[in-house]
Amino acid sequence: MDDTPAGRSASYAVLYTGYGAPGVASTVGYIEDGDLRVVTDPGMVRHRSLILDPLRALGVAPEQVTDVIFSHHHPDHTLNAALFPDARFHDHWAVYQGDRWTWRDADSHELSPSIRLIRTPGHTAEDITTLVGTGGGVVAFTHLWNDETSVGDRHAVDLAALHAGRRRLLGVADVIVPGHGPAFGVRGAR
């Protein structure tokens, strides 16, 4: 099965580059495709302005965010979800909005032709990756890496699955945006 998003109309930005030491903060992403305004992993950061200020610099108010995607349910990736009161929230098995819980498998779920979710377990059994088709290639927002040099994951529940997911993404992505750390080109990850 080809994971590559069919579309190439989306754009992306990293709102905040996370880290794993000495504290912990998630890398928070932003994706725009047509009317979709998507935030990925709005988790722990030193102050919520570190998410909101870069978003506002892009001309987007929190109320304009249409979708929030959680790579997994650890608090360092979900803690600031309430900043986006009107959004739909996506995880590995459902979409949530207001008081609605709509079941669906995330694997190959498309938010648009340029934004696709795929299952990539390893760090947790429920991890998903957001694949984004842009004019410059495919970008993967994922927790399969903590940074470009991460070999394993000391918190992984399934290291074999994590490495299989990495191989899967390396066949599709041009840029990796890891769960904690700066984005990098796949040549560095190979």
The percent of the chain in helix, strand and coil, each rounded to the nearest 5, is 20, 30, 50
The answer to whether the beta carbons of residues 120 and 165 sit under 8 Å apart is yes
Q: What is the pLDDT of residue 149?
A: 82
Q: Give the pLDDT of residue 73.
A: 97
Q: What would the pLDDT profile of 88-125 be if each residue is shown by its tens digit?
A: 999 999 999 999 999 999 999 999 999 999 999 999 99
pTM recorded for the entire structure: 0.96
102 SS3 class: strand
* Sequence spans of domains, the chain: 11-189
Query: What does the pLDDT read at residue 1?
Result: 65
Which residues in 45-76 are b (16+ Cβ under 10 Å) and which e?
Answer: beeeebbbebbeeeebebeebbbbbbbbebeb
pLDDT along the chain (190 residues), means of 10: 92 97 95 98 97 98 98 97 97 97 96 98 97 98 90 89 96 96 79
**What's domain 11-189's superfamily in CATH?**
Ribonuclease Z/Hydroxyacylglutathione hydrolase-like (3.60.15.10)
